[in-house]
Amino acid sequence: MTGAIADARAQRIALREEERALRLWASRRRMRALAARLGAASSPPGSGPLVTFYGSGDYHHLATTLIAAAGEPVTVIHFDNHPDWVRVPATHNCGGWVNRVLALPNVARVVTLGVCSDDLVLPQTKTANLAALASGRLEVHPWRAPPSRVWGRIGDGYGRRRVGRHLVWDCLADRDWPAFVDSLAARLPPGAVWVTIDKDVLRPEDAVTNWDQGQMPLDALLEALRRIAAARRIAGVDVCGEYSPPRFDGPVKRIAAWLDHPDGTLPRTDAHQRNDRTNRALVETLAGVLP
């Protein structure tokens, strides 16, 4: 990445002064200021989709700003160990940003791939946006997950079937992965796709993040990117899921982080090396498939 910046194929936008205010959630004012800041930044030379790396998964809600600026209708392909679909609080936050994206006029659908977290256990008690799931605007395809106990009118759909009081998930770990990705790409709404990646979707041996890790192998993620790019035009890509020491701008965020994050132990000394290897693989794969 440093080499790409040095030879002007990439640029770094310094937002260190906004780190605490943007972490976990951000006010509408902060999000508007971020959009203005990014809009004022000059793009790297050359034509082609913008690929953005922006740190910890604590900042995944910043993807909303990038997707809103895409300039065209898109379907969002979302790789994550968490569905990020909570409706409360209705703010720009890393646990509910998918709902903000679904409200964007240029987004046709969000397809979430790779969830293994306990967000799917009694999802309605955690204010999950199952209405979007039922309408088809949102799809969730877990990597592995037990059936989810639900109530109300939500039936079968892509990636799930209703059996009594449960949604039984069609888990990706049990699927023919290349065939699944090809089928998904073929049935998406017309137009381009936007790919958003939280590296906590990956196995611990492939990434170290501030959140609990999923089970998707890095090779599976890279294979999906190649197949999606072969079938659909990619309008942009954003990547989060680095590990960074959490620093907050007040006690409320510290308490929220203590409730939501893993036990807080520091990662092993090879954490950054693991993340660097994965970032390099992502950059090389995207460079090979994007125009």
Please give the pLDDT value at position 270: 77
Q: What is the pLDDT of residues 221-243, one digit of tens each?
A: 999 999 999 999 999 999 999 98
Instruction: Name the residue ranges covered by the structural domains of the chain.
Output: 17-41+48-277
Among the listed residues 89, 90, 101, the one whose alpha carbon sits nearest the alpha carbon of residue 61: 101
pTM recorded for the entire structure: 0.92
Instruction: Give the pLDDT band (50/70/90) at residue 7.
Output: very low
Distances from the Cα of 89 to the Cα of 94, 95, 163, 211, 225, angstroms: 11, 9, 30, 20, 32
Contact 237, 195 (CB under 8 A): yes
Say which residue the tokens 């790919």 belong to. 195
Say which residue the tokens 């088809």 belong to. 136
pLDDT above 60: residue 266: no
pLDDT above 70: residue 281: yes
Q: How far apart are CA 159 and CA 140, in angstroms?
A: 7
Say which residue the tokens 């930044």 belong to. 41
Regarding the domain delimited by 17-41+48-277, which CATH topology (the fold level of the hierarchy) does it fall under? Arginase; Chain A (3.40.800)
Please give the pLDDT value at position 5: 40
Q: What is the pLDDT of residues 30-40, one digit of tens each?
A: 999 999 988 87
Instruction: Give the pLDDT band (50/70/90) at residue 271.
Output: confident
Q: What is the pLDDT of residues 20-67, one digit of tens each?
A: 899 999 999 999 999 998 887 755 545 578 999 999 999 999 999 999
254: which 2 tokens?
A: 């510290």
Rounded-to-5 percentages of helix, strand, coil across the chain: 40, 20, 40
Among the listed residues 93, 92, 61, 56, the one whose alpha carbon sits nearest the alpha carbon of residue 78: 61
pLDDT above 50: residue 153: yes
Say which residue the tokens 């994007």 belong to. 290
pLDDT above 90: residue 161: yes
Please give the pLDDT value at position 44: 52
Please give the pLDDT value at position 86: 97
Among the listed residues 56, 63, 93, the one whose alpha carbon sits nearest the alpha carbon of residue 78: 63
Q: What is the pLDDT of residues 92-136, one digit of tens each?
A: 999 999 999 999 999 999 999 999 999 999 999 999 999 999 999
DSSP 214-277: --B-HHHHHHHHHHHHHHS-EEEEEEE-B------SSHHHHHHHHHHS---PPPPTTHHHHHHH
* Cβ neighbour number for residue 165 with a 10 Å cutoff: 10
86: which 2 tokens?
A: 């909570």
Among the listed residues 28, 53, 57, the one whose alpha carbon sits nearest the alpha carbon of residue 260: 57
Q: How far apart are CA 289 and CA 229, in angstroms?
A: 6
Please give the pLDDT value at position 68: 96
